[in-house]
Amino acid sequence: MKKKILITGSNGLLGQKLVSQLAAENKQEIIATSRGANRLPLHANYIYESLDITVKNEVDEIVRKHQPDVLIHTAAMTNVDQCEGDKEGCWQLNVKAVEYLVEACEKHNVFLLHLSTDFIFDGEAGPYAENAEANPVSFYGWSKLAAEKLVLHSKASWAIARTVLVYGLAFDMSRSNIILWVKNSLENQKHINVVTDQWRTPTLAEDLAQGCILIAEKEAQGVFNISGEELLNPYQMANQTADYFDLDKSFIHEATAATFSQPAKRPPKTGFDISKAKTVLGYQPHSFSEGIAILAEQLKETHS
């Protein structure tokens, strides 16, 4: 029997990677959902349904119709500054929608895998293990923590996959990532200021998708840190990117977070201890330099 997996946010970066990996394996039945039209160029081995997760009866209707075994919830408002400026919209998408998904999963006996973030921590004591104490410093962080609590207290079987600074290439994407930003800036001989006082364990989108699939297949319950393994600051990431593409590093300048005026506060040092995911799930992420190489290959394919 094929397991049925329903994915929310299938037009997003992680959603796209999940659909393409699962469709390629073709071991499960996949229902991809997102708001509006399907933006994925591949069409085999999955079905697509338009779904607005902020509308309660739409959520219930889709879950009732398809009766999935597992629901992977990737859709969220993840732009930290946007969340600060549109608290109402952020709460609707990041918290109310999770309430509706939890209710639907309880009602139809679905295993819920919810995606969360390192931004639930204040960044004073990273890297963090799964049982570390949350203390968000931004509205985005608070919304994701509130969502986690809904999942934690639900009667459905559940898992939470927390991740950090996801990068990757997707179809028709509006947002860039650190590698593309550095590469494009240096190719155009643009000077860039890159912070040295924020630390993360950057995560390749393919690795995050793989971690989610491992959880979904095992229906492994509890909280899992799914990220890269190396603790790096953006300045180091920028230098590694320049080295890989053989670009002039003299355009990269050290800066601190205080240089930039951003509406939302960022935690200085997060990053994750991923030993639980490695032991329990057999999760094995790529290094950051391997991630750059994978991205470079994908760029070649899109331009060929």
Q: What is the mean pLDDT of residues 11-23?
A: 97
Contacts of 81 (CB under 8 A, 6+ apart): 262, 263, 264
pLDDT, residue 187, reads 98
The model scores a pTM over 0.95: yes
pLDDT, residue 173, reads 73
Check: CB of residue 288 under 8 Å from CB of residue 295. Answer: no
Using a pLDDT cut of 70, give the percent of the chain over it. 100
Provide φ and ψ at 134, rounded to 5°.
Answer: -80, 145
Which has more confidence, 173 or 286? Answer: 286
Query: Which residue shows structure tokens 């969502």?
Result: 147
pLDDT tens per residue, range 158-187: 999 999 999 999 988 777 899 999 999 999
**Can you list the domains of the chain with their CATH numbers?**
4-168+203-229+272-286 (3.40.50.720)
pLDDT tens per residue, range 135-161: 999 999 999 999 999 999 999 999 999
pLDDT tens per residue, range 82-139: 999 999 999 999 999 999 999 999 999 999 999 999 999 999 999 999 999 999 999 9
Answer whether residue 304 shows pLDDT above 80.
no
Check: CB of residue 4 under 8 Å from CB of residue 70. Answer: yes
pLDDT tens per residue, range 37-81: 999 989 899 999 999 999 999 999 999 999 999 999 999 999 999
Q: What is the mean pLDDT of residues 237-245?
A: 98
Q: How many other β-carbons are positioned within 10 Å of the β-carbon of residue 188?
A: 8
